[in-house]
Structure 1
Amino acid sequence: MVATGLFYVGAVLFVNGLLLLGFVEPKAAGVMNLFVGGLQVLTPTYVIFTADGDPALILTGSGLYLFGFTYLYVGIGLLAGLDTTGVGWFSLFVAIAALGYSWANFTLAGAPWLGVIWLYWAVLWTLFWLVLGLKRESLTRYTGWVTLLEAWITAAIPGFLLLTGQWPATTMTAVVLAAIGVVMLVVLLPTLRPPKAKTAEAGEGGPAPVETPSDPAHART
């Protein structure tokens, strides 16, 4: 059941990444956020209520609420046209909590691969805080690409492989994931550069700069 939720987290991160890159309209993305946000609230509720006091299952379920609340918050905000600072600062809370869940998976659950994935999410939600909470629009494209890639690396692919029983839950998997994450963050650094302004002929004055429009998804996941 948790693997199913993880797979659809990949779907909503994919849509939100495209939103940040300007390929999806805000209200269109809002609907998907509500779908997955609802799923990520119902799933951990079921897991916790049927855990029979198992602390490991309760811990797993509690972490899923971070995603459910984020996507519901984003979905409602996109559909209602709300300011993004609320979900931005909530993202900082999620990023800090993700460090705790990463530690728990490394030390208590014996799942280092999942610990690495939580570190991915800590980085991603930190970027959401910077873009949505602090309005650092220069990070929008970078955050969009990180979101798009993490959709597959941390959620869709692991979720599907877990559903089919093919996911290698080993220490080597954790090492490979960590290496991919570092490479991803470095390779995407060029997206931090602002797009070059276009120019147009302006009579005898020569080329005149044309204002480049701001990112259409400048403060929305």
Structure 2
Amino acid sequence: MKRKKNLGLLFVAFSLLVSCNSEKKQTTPDTEPAHKELQEEKTKEVKAPEQIISITEAKQDYDNYTKKRAQLIEKIEDPLEDGSKFIASRYGDYDIETVKNYIAYVEQEAKEAGVKVETLRFYFSTYPDKKDFPDHKKVKHPRQNSFFILPTMKVDAMNMGFYIKDLGDGKKEAALIRDYPGILDSKMGDTNKENSKSYASFIPATTSTPIMFSDQSLIMNKTTMGPPPYDSDFN
């Protein structure tokens, strides 16, 4: 009797296994097209952007900057504290994951504020002649030329830089950089007028008036600039 019972349980288990395998086989053909489409999407060829330039043109542009900009910058800048010559920067580095994450973050914040990112605007800038930034982080190379990235949105057929205001209750609003307190006067950054102009790599937290925690900058800087140390792909 016990043997018959065991055989019965074995038969039931076998029947369930066959049934499951049969269902898997039936569903496989339905899922194959979607899987193939996903693979095709992943392997889709990306065409070169129209903005790509030749290596020869890049070399010419690099040399032109050396002669007409970098040499002039180095000429008017005083030597460093240790007496060494001031060297103008030629490039800035971001690792590719940082760039991807930045774009994703900017698009996320813009979407939540109900606007569309039109462009990423690169502003030339210069670090202050100080040891520390207003956020108390060290200025690695005072007076060094740099750049920062500012996303823009469309306003009356013009692209204008913006930041995000948190209105509470999960609501966000895009506001123009030019309307931020202190931007269009000498209150931003250093009280010294000359240094205020040179300290272009700002974030809203550098204003002399208290910033509301709901104001979120989308400006990216904090990159690795070079030289120094002096190394370049073009000379």
Q: Report if TM-score (shorter chain) is over 0.5.
A: no
If asked which structure has higher relative contact order (CA below 8 Å, sep 6+), I would say: 1
Q: Which has the higher strand share?
A: 2
TM-score normalised by length of structure 2: 0.22
Q: Which has the higher helix share?
A: 1
For the pair shown, which has the larger CA radius of gyration, 1 or 2?
Answer: 2
